[in-house]
Amino acid sequence: MNLSKIELFLAFFIICMFCSCGDAPMKMNEPRNIRGVVSYARTFGDKNDLHLTAARSIGVAAVASRDKAEQMKKKLTCIGESKFYSVDSLTHSIPFLVPRASLLLDKIGKNFLDSLTCKGLNPNKIIVTSVLRTHDDVKKLRKTNINATMTSAHSYGTTFDISWKRFLKLEEKGKPMEDVKTETLKLVLAEVLRDVRKEGLCYIKYELKQGCFHITAR
């Protein structure tokens, strides 16, 4: 059976299309499949009492001072710079979490980086802005933040805040990366957090004024 030139050209074109789709590398910073969540406030509206109940259930006893926290290193994990997240310059908290909360933070950071890659975006790390607050830390914080409460889930080593205003762009030497819009990164982070919350791993409160997601391990 003889094929016309047009039919041969079409067949060749289709074959080339399939081959190129399978072999061509994905271009970075061309966002795709980003849906975010319907509403930050509704999706992440877990009240403070839920956070407190979980914190008291799986956390350490509320810590009075930083010296006391240093003595509890067998029960607490010290978190620092990680390949999955960055820790901000903490002023009213110290970088300690119970192991379960530390593992949750690792999971969120890793899932966020993986999600950025899958969505065609350049890598950025989440930034942790608050961790364990001792009784003394809360007292100092209340002098500048009237919304800070003495009965905070942060007191039990189960809770951390992740900024949705700031992210740490990762770059290789000699390979400058394009910036990703903060709102785009926030949408991707919201998808990651929604999924871990659906798994029953944590409670999450969207903090508008503080510019963070307030997260307590379960």
What's the whole-model pTM score?
Answer: 0.82
Which residues make beta-bridge pairs with 203? 216
Chain segment 118-154, per-residue pLDDT in tens: 999 999 999 999 999 988 888 887 777 666 667 789 9
Beta strands in 28-155 (DSSP E): 77-78, 85-87, 96-97, 124-130
3-class secondary-structure state, position 3? coil
Provide the residue-wise pLDDT of the chain in tens; the chain has 218 residues.
455 555 545 554 444 444 433 443 445 677 788 888 999 999 999 999 999 999 999 999 988 888 888 888 889 999 988 999 999 999 889 999 999 999 999 999 999 999 999 999 999 999 999 999 988 888 887 777 666 667 789 999 999 999 999 999 998 776 777 899 999 999 999 999 999 999 999 999 999 999 999 999 99
Between the CA of residue 115 and those of 17, 108, 177, 182, what are the distances in Å? 27, 10, 17, 15
Residue extents of the structural domains in the chain: 29-217
pLDDT at 174: 66
157: left (phi over 0), alpha (psi -120 to 50) or beta: left
> How many CB atoms lie under 10 A from the CB of residue 8?
11
Q: What Å distances lie between residue 51 and 18, 124, 201, 204, CA to CA?
A: 51, 28, 12, 8
Question: What pLDDT score does 54 carry?
Answer: 97
Please enumerate in sequence order all residues whose Cβ is within 8 A of that of 188, keeping only pairs 6 or more positions apart, or say none.
Answer: 34, 36, 112, 115, 116, 119, 121
